[in-house]
């Protein structure tokens, strides 16, 4: 019924055998602290280990001369000394590891153990490969130590942030003002906890697919975090996800959000235009011009050389923009191209596709071409070539008469 306390270990959760470790608890209750008892628990069995009535809002339990048996998970609660003995929520668990139980690391040298004076040498220390767990999330550093009597230690390395995902429900990620950004403009990615998550005061982390390190981290007071991408460039385009995690042990981390693809306009692909059943058709046929672009494109436009402005525009279908020209005549012959609209900005269109030349022939002209082809067939010496030409003629005749299989969307 009371807020859960904070918990931590000093000097840390990794400790040498024989040393003393202090596990502390900090409460948030507003009532006088002398009315409360603190209990240190085994986090797995919830068995009470030690009790304390502190003079302030903080309790500290010392474990002197720790050994292997002291390794494990610890947690805290505090409760009223008097009936009805109302208690707090269980604190996060802190994992205490007494060193000496972990498998020994491996040390090796590059380029080798025998080198000439002045040669650069790198000493590598590697722990055995262990499966990552959510509680392994955190900031890691390393040092090296001189093996001589002085035992001098180096400065610590830069921190390496490790995020192990999967123990909390995934958040949602959205982009404002949109997924498509012009070079030099700003976009904000917002990561939001799902409604079913009860985590209080989480840390949010922004990730980019293909980048080894997290991009940004925030610990806001609310249930969402805003990550600004300022003055975007071509290299900022790509797929982004986010996670949220507890701020204290056991550092549970959510599943990553669904990927959100950010586009920078100078990295967008040029649209492509194709024609079905082909670029040369008989008068009276139906022709479908298909304009393709990225899957999220909302609207396509068709242009014709010699015609000012947009010839036709339409909402996108599953496979792009389908422009169907019905009962075409030789007047439909010409060069066509298409473009697509970027997001909801009606004035912003992507550069047009390569031109596509459509040739519409009169039926009489087509028949003359067929007769000429039939005259030429017997002159071929290779029987395979004869068969090939005859098949093409039959296919062409079939396409002339079969108009029921053409698409019916967006006809003009």
pLDDT of residue 47: 85
CATH 2.60.40.10 in the chain, residues? Answer: 6-98, 131-266, 268-412
pLDDT of residue 401: 40
Which numeric CATH code is attached to 131-266? 2.60.40.10
pLDDT of residue 398: 38
pLDDT of residue 365: 64
Superfamily of domain 268-412: Immunoglobulins (2.60.40.10)
**Which positions of the chain have pLDDT values less than 70?**
28-34, 100-104, 128-131, 133-136, 149, 198, 249-250, 343-348, 365-412
Give the chain as a 3 state SS string: CECCCEEEEECCCEECCCCCEEEEEECCCCCCHHHEEEEEEECCCCCEEEEECCCCCEEEEEECCCCHHHCEEEEEEEEECCCCCCEECCCCCEEEEECCCCCCCEEEEECCCCCCCCCCCEEEEECCCCCCCHHHCEEECCCCECCCCCCCECCCCCCEEECCCCCECCCEEEEECCCEECCCCCEEEEEECCCCCCCCCCEEEEEECCCCCCCEEECCCCCEEEEEECCCCHHHCEEEEEEEECCCCCCCEECCCCCEEEEEHHHCCCCEEEEECCCEEECCCCEEEEEECCCCCCEEEEEECCCCCCCEEEECECCEEEEEECCCCHHHCEEEEEEEECCCCCCCECCCCCCEEEEEECHHHHHHHHHHHHHHHHHCCCHHHHHHHHHHHHHHHHHHHCCCCCCCCCEC
Please state which architecture CATH assigns to domain 6-98: Sandwich (2.60)
Beta strands across the sheet bearing 6-10? 6-10, 21-26, 58-63
pTM tops 0.85: no
């Amino acid at each position: 019924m009371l807020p859960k306390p904070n918990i931590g270990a000093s000097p840390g959760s990794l400790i040498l055998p024989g040393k003393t470790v202090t596990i502390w608890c900090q409460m948030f209750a507003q009532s006088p602290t002398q009315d409360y008892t603190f209990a240190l628990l085994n986090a797995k069995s919830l068995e009470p280990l030690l009790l304390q009535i502190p003079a302030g809002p903080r309790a500290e339990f010392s474990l002197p001369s720790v050994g292997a048996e002291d390794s494990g998970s610890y947690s805290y609660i505090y409760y009223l000394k008097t009936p009805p003995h109302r208690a707090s929520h269980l604190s996060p668990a802190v994992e205490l590891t007494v060193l000496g139980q972990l498998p020994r690391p491996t040390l090796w040298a590059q380029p080798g153990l025998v080198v000439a004076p002045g040669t650069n040498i790198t000493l590598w220390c590697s722990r055995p490969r262990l499966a990552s767990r959510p509680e392994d999330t955190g900031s890691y550093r390393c040092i090296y130590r001189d093996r001589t009597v002085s035992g001098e230690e180096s400065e610590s390395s830069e921190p390496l942030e490790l995020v192990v995902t999967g123990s909390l429900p995934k958040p949602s990620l959205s982009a404002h003002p949109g997924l498509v950004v012009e070079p030099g403009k700003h976009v904000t990615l917002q990561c939001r906890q799902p409604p079913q998550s009860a985590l209080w005061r989480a840390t949010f982390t922004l990730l980019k697919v293909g980048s080894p390190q997290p991009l940004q981290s925030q610990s806001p007071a609310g249930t969402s975090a805003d990550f600004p991408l300022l003055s975007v460039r071509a290299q900022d385009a790509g797929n982004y996800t986010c996670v949220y995690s507890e701020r204290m042990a056991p550092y549970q981390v959510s599943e990553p959000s669904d990927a959100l693809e950010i586009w920078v306009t100078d990295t967008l692909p040029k649209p492509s235009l194709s024609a079905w059943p082909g670029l040369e058709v008989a008068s009276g046929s139906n022709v479908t011009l298909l304009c393709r672009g990225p899957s999220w494109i909302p609207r396509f436009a068709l242009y014709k050389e010699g015609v000012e402005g947009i010839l036709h525009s339409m909402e996108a279908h599953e496979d792009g923009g389908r422009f169907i020209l019905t009962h075409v005549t030789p007047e439909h012959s010409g060069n066509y191209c298409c473009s697509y609209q970027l997001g909801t900005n009606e004035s912003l269109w992507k550069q047009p596709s390569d031109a596509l030349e459509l040739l519409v022939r009169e039926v009489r002209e087509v028949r003359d071409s067929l007769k000429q082809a039939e005259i030429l067939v017997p002159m071929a010496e290779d029987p395979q070539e004869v068969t090939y030409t005859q098949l093409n003629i039959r296919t062409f005749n079939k396409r002339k008469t079969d108009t029921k299989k053409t698409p019916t969307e967006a006809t003009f």
